[in-house]
Amino acid sequence: MENSTALRTWLDDFKLDHPLVIAGPCSAETEQQVLKIAHELKDSDVSIYRAGIWKPRTRPGGFEGVGAIGLKWLQKAKAETGLLMATEVANATHVKLALEHDIDVLWIGARTTVNPFAVQEIADALAGTDKIVLVKNPVNPDLALWLGGVERLYNAGIKKLGVIHRGFSTYEKTKYRNIPEWQLVIELQNKFPDLPLICDPSHITGKRDMIQEVSQQALDLNYDGLIIETHTDPDNAWSDAAQQVTPTTLKHIFEALRVRKETGQDDGYNRKMAALRVNIDEFDKKIIDALGKRMKVSEQIGQVKKEFNVAVLQNKRWNEILDKMKAEGKEQGLNEEFIINIFKAIHQESITHQEKVINK
Ligand code: PEP
Ligand code: MN
């Protein structure tokens, strides 16, 4: 697949003076719910209505979607509101049913993008149609796998393509439901600047009060659009309740967002700086996370020293650490004095944490 402005023709055709907005519930629940939310979103910045009909759940027993009946509700919502309709497809049967019900936009979920067989099956089922297809990133941070999914569709003749950044799974607990790993998406953006890029702050954050912040970060990085889960009764939603916002909140989020106009000259500067700053912020956060975790280990060491009645300060061990870090630092091009200063400070903080445990 080559980068070309043709990739974004479908998006330009919306003729928007703001980022593309896709909104609607995580899942279609009832006909009434689908219609009510669609009507509340009708006269807003929203262009495309989303609702999951088939829901991939991490574990069996969760709400797995209403199935094909929901497609009829979406058709009705489209007839009544004029909004384009979007739903998730995970296999050829889903595609066939979605096409039969005139769904406008199909998205491939994170759990499907990881599977080239499934993506190929979807691509084959879509060949010859002119649907808009959006590929969510795979659950694991693998750019090649994500692009591979887009390419399978492209090679099947689907040209109205876009990608959705919904964050990545991690074993470690973070403040995100799925960590953004912005730098990976920036890499994709640099390779394919014309491939429409949409942020899904709902699945990145998992929490409605973080949607605004992550949406702003995406816009600062020149994303082309946002997909935000919206429900008239979020707390009682049948799936992803914690991350859905009401249509009114959605409106407030948009009012507060700074949408930067793309102004030729300084655009390169702003975009580059925004990307680099996101990178720096992420590293700073990782440094603090690592320091916090290191101190927890120090406390465990303190506990063991207490048990065995050993002194906190072990000079030999400390000098070994320092020598090792000076060597590692040198490899990274870091000044020796800088390393000594940092590790003295870390060591001091460690001793404080150990003493806290020992004197308890
Ligand atoms: C969704 O959009 O509701 C969904 C299931 O998303 P993801 O594939 O990103 O988990
Ligand atoms: Mn969801």
Task: Output the domain CATH number for residue 303.
Answer: 1.20.59.10
Task: Output the domain CATH number for residue 35.
Answer: 3.20.20.70
Minimum CA distance residue for ligand 1 atom 2: 26
Is the pLDDT confidence value at 28 over 90?
yes
Average pLDDT over residues 106-128: 98
Any atom of ligand 1 within 6 Å of the Cβ of 110: yes
* 3-class DSSP string for the chain: CCCCHHHHHHHHCCCCCCCEEEEECCECCCHHHHHHHHHHHCCCCEEEEECECCCCCCCCCCCCCCCCHHHHHHHHHHHHHCCEEEEECCCHHHHHHHHHCCCCEEEECHHHHCCHHHHHHHHHHHCCCCCEEEEECCCCCCHHHHHHHHHHHHHCCCCCEEEEECCECCCCCCCCCCECCHHHHHHHHHHCCCCCEEECHHHHHCCHHHHHHHHHHHHHCCCCEEEEEECCCHHHCCCCHHHCECHHHHHHHHHHCCCCCCCHHHHHHHHHHHHHHHHHHHHHHHHHHHHHHHHHHHHHHHHHHHHCCCCCCCHHHHHHHHHHHHHHHHHCCCCHHHHHHHHHHHHHHHHHHHHHHHCC
**Residues 300, 242 share a domain:** no
- Tell me which residue range forms the domain holding 340: 267-358
> What's the pLDDT score for residue 4?
86
Atom of ligand 1 nearest to the CA of 200: 9
Distance CA 250, CA 244 (A): 10
Ligand number nearest CA of 51 is 1
Q: Which amino acid is at 92?
A: A
**Residues 70, 14 share a domain:** yes
Is the pLDDT confidence value at 232 over 90?
yes
**Residues 251, 306 share a domain:** no
Q: Which two tokens stand for residue 318?
A: 């400390």
> What's the pLDDT score for residue 284?
92
Q: What's the total number of domains in the chain?
A: 2
Q: Rounded to the nearest whole angstrom, what is the distance from the C-alpha of residue 64 to the centroid of ligand 2?
A: 11
Any atom of ligand 1 within 6 Å of the Cβ of 231: no
- Residue 65, domain member (yes or no): yes
| pLDDT tens, residue by residue, 178-210 | 999 999 999 999 899 999 999 999 999 999 999
Which of 203, 226, 230 to probe ligand 1 with, by most ligand atoms within 8 A of CB?
203
Average pLDDT over residues 215-228: 95
Nearest to 229 by CA among 86, 64, 88, 26: 26
Rounded to the nearest 10 degrees, how much is the dihedral formed by the CA atoms of 337, 340, 343, 347?
-150
Q: Rounded to the nearest whole angstrom, what is the distance from the C-alpha of residue 128 to the centroid of ligand 1?
A: 26
pLDDT band at residue 10 using 50, 70 and 90 as cut-offs = very high
**Residues 248, 109 share a domain:** yes
**Residues 247, 271 share a domain:** no
Nearest 5 degrees, angle CA 187-CA 188-CA 189?
A: 90
**Residues 224, 149 share a domain:** yes
Note the pTM of the prediction, 2 decimals.
0.81
Any atom of ligand 1 within 6 Å of the Cβ of 109: yes
Any atom of ligand 1 within 6 Å of the Cβ of 274: no
- Ligand 2 is an ion; residues with CB less than 5 A from it: 26, 240
> What's the pLDDT score for residue 262?
55
Q: Rounded to the nearest whole angstrom, what is the distance from the C-alpha of residue 12 to the centroid of ligand 1?
A: 25
**Residues 226, 295 share a domain:** no
Q: Rounded to the nearest whole angstrom, what is the distance from the C-alpha of residue 137 to the centroid of ligand 1?
A: 10
- Residue 261, domain member (yes or no): no
- Residue 262, domain member (yes or no): no
Distance CA 240, CA 177 (A): 11
> What's the pLDDT score for residue 92?
98
Minimum CA distance residue for ligand 1 atom 4: 109
